[in-house]
């Protein structure tokens, strides 16, 4: 085997980082979602993410990459996704609240009974995380089920809500599974529902949209970069081979 070209050290580091990342992902899969979330958001792993992001950003300065637009898009897309993941993470949200004195909510839940107004956001254990700057009223919550001989199989859950602003204005929305509401910098989605002595209640999940645009941009770059590099370029090369004398 020929000596390793020193200019290829980037590829060697890439293979090592990618292999390590794959190994960590496989390890994390055995932990369960909650423990995996704690593991991957721990300080050592945060350093690992930062290393990958810094390496990706440095790779974008590699001149040879500039002559290969689809590879550049792949690397830029990956950098966007990692950076947006940092920016939208619960830790980053806590840092922003600490540094800027904001009261941003990263992720929580609203427990809504019909005709009751709520703005307090709690976590999955019921601890108060904060309050929204507006009230949400659950006008009506409905569930529908498929006809089946055994246990009822849910078909859809729907929460019809009204959002009331402090200035008195209000607007009506419907939230279903896979049909969330984007409002006030947050995403409201139908998480679950329950029943207590008062009747049915709807559990609306609430997540902030920090990093949304960067993440979507990163995803678009990744998909277009991959399609271009692995489909378009080989296709164009094969066409050039078929027509060697075309001008």
Partner 1 sequence: MLFDALAAAGVFFPSFRMRRAFWTAGCFVSAAAWLLHAFWAGYFPMQTMFEVFLTLGMLLGPLSWFCRNRLSMNDPLSEFADALLGFLILFPAGFVFPEHPRPLPPALQSPLFIPHVLSYMLAYVLLAKAALHAAGGLTTASAFREKQSYRLASMAFPLLTLGLVLGSIWGKIAWGDWWSWDPKELWSLACWLLYLAYFHWRLWTGNRIIKVNLWMILVGFLAVLCTLLWVNLSNLFRGLHNYTG
User: What is the binding site for partner 1 (CB under 8 A)?
Assistant: 1-2, 4, 8, 11-12, 14-15, 18-19, 21-23, 25-26, 28-30, 32-34, 36-37, 40, 85, 88, 107, 146, 148, 153-157, 176-178, 180, 187, 189-191, 205-207, 215-216, 219, 222-223, 226-227, 230-231, 234
Rounded least distance, CB 86 to partner 1, Å = 12
Q: What is the dihedral of CA 231, 237, 241, 244, to 10 degrees?
A: 140
CA distances from 72 to 82, 88, 208, 226 (A): 15, 24, 30, 10
DSSP 156: E
Residue among 41 and 170 whose Cβ is closer to partner 1: 41
Rounded least distance, CB 101 to partner 1, Å = 26
Rounded least distance, CB 23 to partner 1, Å = 8
Residue among 115 and 234 whose Cβ is closer to partner 1: 234
Residue among 190 and 202 whose Cβ is closer to partner 1: 190
Phi, psi of 115, rounded to the nearest 5 degrees: 70, 5
- What are the tokens at 80? 């966007």
- Cα–Cα distance for residue pair 209/187, rounded to 1 Å: 7
Rounded least distance, CB 177 to partner 1, Å = 4
- What are the tokens at 84? 């947006």
Residue among 162 and 176 whose Cβ is closer to partner 1: 176
Rounded least distance, CB 197 to partner 1, Å = 26
CA distances from 121 to 22, 128, 131, 148 (A): 35, 6, 6, 36
Rounded least distance, CB 166 to partner 1, Å = 25
Residue among 156 and 162 whose Cβ is closer to partner 1: 156
Q: Scan for tokens 């794959």, then name that residue.
A: 22
Please, which residues have CB within 8 angstroms of residue 143's CB and are 6 or more apart in sequence? 154, 156, 157, 158, 193, 200
From 160, 187, 164, select the one nearest 175 (Cα to Cα): 160
Residue among 65 and 137 whose Cβ is closer to partner 1: 65
Residue among 35 and 115 whose Cβ is closer to partner 1: 35
Beta bridge pairs of residue 158: 142, 176
Rounded least distance, CB 171 to partner 1, Å = 21
Rounded to 5°, the CA angle 174-179-185 comes to: 85
């Amino acid at each position: 085997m020929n000596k390793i070209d020193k200019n290829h050290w980037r590829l060697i580091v890439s293979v090592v980082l990618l292999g390590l990342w794959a190994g960590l992902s496989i390890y994390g899969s055995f932990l369960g979602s909650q423990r995996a979330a704690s593991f991957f958001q721990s300080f050592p792993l945060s350093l690992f993410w930062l290393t990958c992001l810094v390496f990706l950003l440095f790779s974008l300065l590699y001149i040879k990459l500039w002559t290969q637009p689809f590879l550049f898009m792949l690397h830029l897309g990956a950098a966007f996704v990692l950076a947006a993941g940092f920016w939208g993470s619960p830790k980053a949200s806590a840092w922003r609240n600490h540094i800027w004195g904001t009261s941003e909510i990263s992720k929580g839940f609203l427990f809504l009974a019909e005709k009751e107004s709520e703005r307090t956001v709690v976590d999955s254990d019921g601890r108060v995380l904060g309050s929204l700057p507006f009230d949400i009223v659950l006008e009506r919550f409905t569930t529908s089920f498929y006809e089946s001989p055994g246990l009822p199989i849910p078909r859809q859950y729907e929460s019809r809500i009204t959002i009331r602003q402090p200035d008195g204005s209000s607007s009506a929305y419907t939230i279903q599974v896979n049909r969330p509401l984007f409002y006030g910098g947050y995403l409201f989605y139908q998480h679950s529902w329950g029943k207590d002595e008062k009747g049915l209640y709807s559990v609306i999940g609430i997540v902030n949209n920090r990093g949304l645009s960067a993440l979507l941009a990163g995803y678009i770059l990744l998909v277009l970069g991959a399609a271009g590099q692995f489909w378009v370029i080989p296709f164009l090369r094969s066409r050039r081979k078929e027509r060697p004398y075309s001008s």
